[in-house]
Amino acid sequence: MSKVIFLDLDGTLTDAGPGIKNCFNYALERMGLPEIRTNNDWIVGPPLWDSFAKVGVADDQLDHAVDLYRERYRDIGYLENALYDGVLDQLSRLKDRSFALCLATSKAAEYAVKITAHFGVDRYLDHQFGSELDGTRSAKTDLLKHGLNVTSSSAQDAVMVGDRSFDIVGAHANEMAAFGVLYGYGNQDELEGAGADGLIQDPSELAHSLITFFE
C-alpha cells in the first residue's frame, strides 16, 4: 500500500494569510464590528465559525458572518495568496517516490480546488479533501477520518502535515503521525505543545523530512 501524505493548504502549501485576514475583516466591517488588524495570525487555520465566535459574533449570526466572508473570498480573497517558494518541486519529489498526496484543509472544498488549480498544485494530488459549505468536516479530526476512509489507508501508513495545532490534534485523534511546519501561521510552542512528531523549518525541507520519516 502507498504511504499517504495529507497536506494542509493555508500556511503549509500557500501563504493565504492576506486574503483570509482581508475577508475576515470585510465580514466584521459589514456587521458593524471592530476589525482585527494586529496580532491576527491566529485567524489563519481554524474553521471560520470558530474564529468569528472568538471575536464575539453571536451564535445565531455565525452563518451570516461566514457568508459575508465568502462574498469577498470567492472573487478576490482566494487570489490574495501565494505559493511558498519551492512547494511544487517538493511535491514533485514526493510523487517521484510514489507517495499518495492528499489535500486536507478546513477550507470549503469548493474554494480549495480553485486555489490548487490556480497554482498548479492539483496535478500532484491524488485526492482533495475539504469541508462542506455548511461546515461539515471543517474539524481536522473529522476531515482526516474521512480521508483515511476514502483512500482505504491505514493510519500507520499516513502522516499529516500542517502549520497549526488543529492539524496535529486531528491527526493524533486518528492515530496518525503529524509534522508541523514552522514557516506558516503557527509557531514552535503551539506545534510542540500539540505533540507534533516532527517539525519542518522551511518548505525546501518538506520532501526530505517526509521521505526520511517513512524510511
Instruction: Spell out the domain ranges in the chain.
Output: 4-15+82-214, 17-79
pLDDT of residue 45: 82
CATH number belonging to the domain at 4-15+82-214, selected among 3.40.50.1000, 1.10.3720.10, 3.40.50.720, 3.40.718.10: 3.40.50.1000
Q: What stretches in the chain show pLDDT beneath 70?
A: 1
For residues 191 and 182, the answer to whether their CB atoms sit within 8 Å is yes
pLDDT at residue 66 in the model: 96
The per-residue pLDDT for 61 is: 97
Instruction: Give the per-residue pLDDT at 2.
Output: 82
- Which one from 8, 10, 163, 167 is the annotated catalytic residue? 8
Cell triple for 134 = 455548511
pLDDT at 1: 58
Give catalytic status of residue 41 as yes or no. no
Which one, of 139, 118, 117, lies nearest residue 130 by Cα?
139
**Residue 118: per-residue pLDDT:** 95
- Say what the pLDDT of residue 21 is: 96
pLDDT of residue 175: 98
Q: Give how far the C-alpha of residue 88 lies from the chain's centroid of Cα atoms, to the nearest Å.
A: 16
pLDDT at 144: 98
Q: CATH classification of 17-79, choosing from 1.10.357.10, 1.10.150.240, 1.10.150.170, 1.10.10.60? A: 1.10.150.240
* C-alpha dist (Å) from residue 161 to 5, 38, 106: 7, 27, 13
CA distance 57 to 90: 39
Domain 17-79 in the same topology as domain 4-15+82-214 = no
- What is the chain's Cα-based Rg? 16
